[in-house]
Amino acid sequence: MLPYAAYLRVYEPLSAFPEAQRHVWSAYADSTDRPRRAGALRVEHGEAVRRLLSLPPMPAPHEESENAYLRRVDNILYVCPWQSRLRSWLAFAKLRGSTPVRLMNRLVPQAVADQTADDFDMFKRRSGANALRTHIRTATWHVPSSWFTPFDGAERWLVLGEPVEHQQDGATTMTPTRNLIYVTSMSQARRRVARSLQVIRRHAGEATTAAEVEDVARWLEEFHPHSLVELDYGGLVNLMDDETLRADQSVAELSAALTGLDTGQEELAYAMYQRVILRWRSIQILESAN
C-alpha cells in the first residue's frame, strides 16, 4: 500500500540544470525503463520499505537516486529529481532530533544512526548549503493549509477509478488510478503566496499560519522562475472515497477565506477556513485510529 502522504513538488526546466545534468536528464526522459508517473510513488515507497526492513535498517540509501518526475509543456522538459538520499537524510535528522534516545535506539541501532549522521555531515561540508535544496516536500496524513496557497481552484485535476494491483518480489501493492493534483506556473505560485501572506499579516499579524506560508514562499524563491509547482494528494486519496474527493475544494475554499478576510466578510472567511481545517483534521486523526 502507498504511504498516506501528500507531496509539494517543483519541476525546473531542463535549462535550469548544469550542462552535465542536462544531458543526464535528457537521456533519462528518453529511457524506456524509467519509472512512469503512474507507478513512481509505488517504486519510491518500495525502495524505502526495503531499506527499513533490511538488517540493520538503512535510514538513507548509499547513493542518490537517479530518478525524477518529469513533465513536458509546450515541448519543454521539466524535471523534479527524487533526491531520495537527501530527503531521507533530512527526515532522519528531524526524527532523531525529536525522538528520545532510548526510543531512537529501538528504531535504528546507534552505530547505524551515528554513521548516517556522519555521512550527512560530510555531505554538507563538501557540498555547501545550496546542496540541501529539495524539489519535493512531504506531509503525512494531511495537506498543510499553507500548501494550498500557490494554487487556484481552476487548476484542480481529479481522476477517479479503482486502484490497480501489482505483484513485485512476492509482495502485493496497489497503484491508485485515482488522484487529485494541482499544477501551476512558478510566477503564479509566487504571486498567490505573496498575496496570501500580505492578507494574513494585515488581519492576523504574525500568526503561526503566516510563518507557514512564509516558509513556502522562501522555498519557492529557491527555484528557477519558469518552473512548475505541483500539489499531489498522493497516498491520501486512499483515505478518501470518490464522493469525498469530489467535494474537496480546499484550494478554492482557502482562497475564499482569504478574500473574505481582506474584504471585511469575517463570517464568510471563518466558515471557509473552518471547512478546510475540519476536513483535514478528520483525515489526520486517522493516524491514531485502530
Any residues with CB less than 8 A from the CB of 137 and at least 6 apart, and which?
Answer: 7, 8, 9, 147, 219
* 6 sits in which H/E element: strand 5-13
Contact indicator for 185, 244 with CB cutoff of 8 Å: no
Contact indicator for 87, 133 with CB cutoff of 8 Å: no
> What would the grid cell of residue 42 be?
509505488
Any residues with CB less than 8 A from the CB of 47 and at least 6 apart, and which?
Answer: 61, 65, 84
Beta strand pairing call for 136-140 and 164-168? unpaired
Task: Indicate the average pLDDT of the chain.
Answer: 90
The 10s digit of each residue's pLDDT in 228-265 is 999 999 999 989 999 999 999 999 999 999 999 999 99
The 10s digit of each residue's pLDDT in 33-60 is 898 877 888 888 888 888 888 888 899 9
Give the number of other CB atoms < 10 A from CB of residue 250: 24
What's the whole-number mean pLDDT along residues 99-118? Answer: 90
> What DSSP designation does 144 have?
-
> Of 216, 233, 226, 82, which is closest to residue 157 (Cα–Cα)?
233
Q: How confident is the model at residue 162 (pLDDT cuts 50, 70, 90)?
A: low
Rounded to whole angstroms, the Cα distance separating 185 from 143 reads 20
Q: Which is it for the CA torsion 223, 224, 226, 232, positive or negative?
A: negative
pLDDT at residue 43, as a whole number: 86
The 10s digit of each residue's pLDDT in 266-277 is 999 999 999 999
The pLDDT > 70 percentage for the chain reads 92
Looking at per-residue confidence, does 154 or 171 come out higher?
A: 154
Rounded to whole angstroms, the Cα distance separating 31 from 78 reads 15
pLDDT at residue 208, as a whole number: 75
The 10s digit of each residue's pLDDT in 174-225 is 555 789 999 999 999 999 999 999 999 998 877 778 999 999 999 999 999 9
Answer yes or no: is pLDDT of 166 > 60: no
The 10s digit of each residue's pLDDT in 2-26 is 589 999 999 999 999 999 999 999 9
Any residues with CB less than 8 A from the CB of 189 and at least 6 apart, and which?
Answer: 150, 151, 220, 229
> Of 184, 177, 173, 137, which is closest to residue 161 (Cα–Cα)?
177
For 267-270, which contacts have Cβ atoms below 8 Å and span 24 or more sequence positions? none
Contact indicator for 99, 123 with CB cutoff of 8 Å: no
- 3 state SS of 232: strand
Please, where are the H alpha helices in the chain? 19-30, 37-53, 84-98, 101-107, 110-127, 186-204, 208-220, 242-247, 250-262, 266-284
Amino acid making up residue 30 = D
